[in-house]
Amino acid sequence: MREAAPAQRVFISGVAGFLGSHLADAFLADGLEVVGVDNLVGGYLDNVPAGVSFHRADCNDFARMRALMQGVDVVYHCAATAYEGLSVFSPHFVTQNVVTATSGMVSAAIASRARRFVFCSSMARYGENEVPFSEDLAPRPQDPYGIGKLAAELLVRNLAETHGVEWVVAVPHNIIGPRQKYDDPYRNVAAIFVNSLLQGRRLSIYGDGSQRRCFSFVSDVVAPLRQMATSPACAGQVINVGPDDEFVSVLELAQLVARLMDVELRCDFLPPRPREVPFANCSAAKARALLGYEPRVSLEEGLRQMIDWIRARGPRPFLHHVDLEIVSDATPRTWSTPEP
Ligand SMILES: NC(=O)c1ccc[n+]([C@@H]2O[C@H](COP(=O)([O-])OP(=O)(O)OC[C@H]3O[C@@H](n4cnc5c(N)ncnc54)[C@H](O)[C@@H]3O)[C@@H](O)[C@H]2O)c1
């Protein structure tokens, strides 16, 4: 496989977030210059690695993004309000930060003559489909978040191809590890379980817990993602990034987390969340072929590392920081009535 010249200056949106901050670490370790932005709607400020040229800024601020991208070789757009379940109740908020923000980011990258744009999409693009999801399936997103990610992909591809910029769409799924936001009640099921159990709380499970997912440890996502900066084989491709084994149910995940934390598991089974897809996992065949993708950290080991990190920081109350635009009978009570 032909290797392209290394990227010199990398721009990362969402650099205070989970994935963006780990990706920044990897590029800094390679000696590259990293410019990063985040508006701190999510993430943690102390996630931003020392050495990143950090700007607290919104991806929807087009003029600022274009100015900050001057001289940048590759743009990774990791920022998003990645709230799949919540997107049914706050679709405007989610769409602004998934679709509109991406149209601005890819336009700014093109205008500032970046060579390549790497977009972090989501498995939600596939929706209710045959598992494991392969990249050539016709997408059938089931909620505004998945619809938004797919629309954003189409914008990236359309604009990049029109203006001669290379593009890559990475499709990660259910990442776990240190630095993940764990005081956010709307997403990151494993981190929510850990934070709840540390507070001696019962776990809330939507439905009967039989919905199944695969989880990736963050370093196993960063490794293929960083190759997407330069790999010629990745240009113009949609690539799943995540394991296709250790497919576990949410209830099994809860049992495993409780066992690793050595605490008693007590659960409340709540009504299913609207539009939640029962089975979702991706085929990793394309990532294996193009990037030599090979996950190294098991689910159990990944959870251990995340538990240790959350324990060291201490449990935190859940922050209900997003306004619900639509409150209906379908709104989970865990979101409409914050816990005491
Ligand atoms: N973590 C996962 O399991 C997972 C799975 C599939 C896809 N993804 C995608 O990967 C990307 C990174 O996810 P993550 O888990 O690191 O999420 P994260 O919430 O930890 O990080 C995202 C960061 O983006 C920032 N942000 C959001 N909107 C912004 C805006 N308009 N301007 C500037 N900053 C903004 C947030 O403050 C946050 O720090 C997202 O695009 C997400 O959709 C993540």
Residue 2, pLDDT > 60, answer no
Most informative mutation of 175, 183, 322 for ligand 1 (most atoms within 8 A of CB): 175
Most informative mutation of 86, 120, 125 for ligand 1 (most atoms within 8 A of CB): 120
Distance (Å, whole) CA 326 – CA 249: 29
Whether 223 maps to a domain, the answer reads: yes
Q: Whose CA is nearest to atom 43 of ligand 1?
A: 82
Query: pLDDT band at residue 5, thresholds of 50, 70 and 90?
Result: low
Q: Whose CA is nearest to atom 13 of ligand 1?
A: 19
Note whether 81 and 230 are same-domain residues: yes
Note whether 307 and 158 are same-domain residues: no
Q: Residues 36-50: what's their mean pLDDT?
A: 98
Query: pLDDT band at residue 43, thresholds of 50, 70 and 90?
Result: very high
**pLDDT above 70 coverage of the chain, percent:** 97
Backbone angles phi and psi of 141, in degrees to 5: -60, 145
Whether 2 maps to a domain, the answer reads: no
Backbone angles phi and psi of 106, in degrees to 5: -70, -35
Centre of ligand 1 to C-alpha 75, Å, is: 15
Please give the model's pTM, rounded to 2 decimal places: 0.96
Q: What is the pLDDT of residue 1?
A: 45
Give me the CATH number covering residue 127: 3.40.50.720
Note whether 146 and 261 are same-domain residues: no
Residue ranges making up the domain that contains 51: 9-176+216-241
Amino acid identity, position 295: P
Whether 22 maps to a domain, the answer reads: yes
Whether 182 maps to a domain, the answer reads: no
Residues 133-162: tens digit of each pLDDT: 999 999 999 999 999 999 999 999 999 999
Closest CA to 76 of 190, 286, 241: 241
Q: What is the pLDDT of residue 6?
A: 63
Whether 250 maps to a domain, the answer reads: yes
Residues 155-198: tens digit of each pLDDT: 999 999 999 999 999 999 999 999 999 999 999 999 999 999 99
Whether 284 maps to a domain, the answer reads: no
Residues 217-252: tens digit of each pLDDT: 999 999 999 999 999 999 999 999 998 888 899 999
Note whether 155 and 170 are same-domain residues: yes
Note whether 194 and 114 are same-domain residues: no
Note whether 129 and 204 are same-domain residues: no
Q: What is the pLDDT of residue 3?
A: 53
Give me the CATH number covering residue 311: 3.90.25.10
Residue 274, pLDDT > 90, answer no
Please give, one letter per residue, the 3-state secondary structure of 36-95: EEECCCCCCHHHCCCCCEEEECCCCCHHHHHHHCCCCCEEEECCCCCCCCHHHCCHHHHH
Q: What is the pLDDT of residue 4?
A: 58
Whether 111 maps to a domain, the answer reads: yes
Centre of ligand 1 to C-alpha 30, Å, is: 23
Note whether 53 and 160 are same-domain residues: yes
Centre of ligand 1 to C-alpha 81, Å, is: 6
Note whether 50 and 129 are same-domain residues: yes
Q: What is the pLDDT of residue 338?
A: 60
Would you say the CB of residue 214 lies under 6 angstroms from ligand 1?
no
Q: Residues 71-92: what's their mean pLDDT?
A: 96
Q: Residues 328-338: what's their mean pLDDT?
A: 80
Mean pLDDT score of the chain: 95
Note whether 97 and 221 are same-domain residues: yes
Distance (Å, whole) CA 91 – CA 83: 10
Whether 315 maps to a domain, the answer reads: yes
Note whether 109 and 235 are same-domain residues: yes
Distance (Å, whole) CA 36 – CA 314: 27
Atom of ligand 1 nearest to the CA of 172: 6
Note whether 53 and 141 are same-domain residues: yes
Note whether 197 and 315 are same-domain residues: yes
Residue 339, pLDDT > 60, answer no
Domain count, the chain: 2
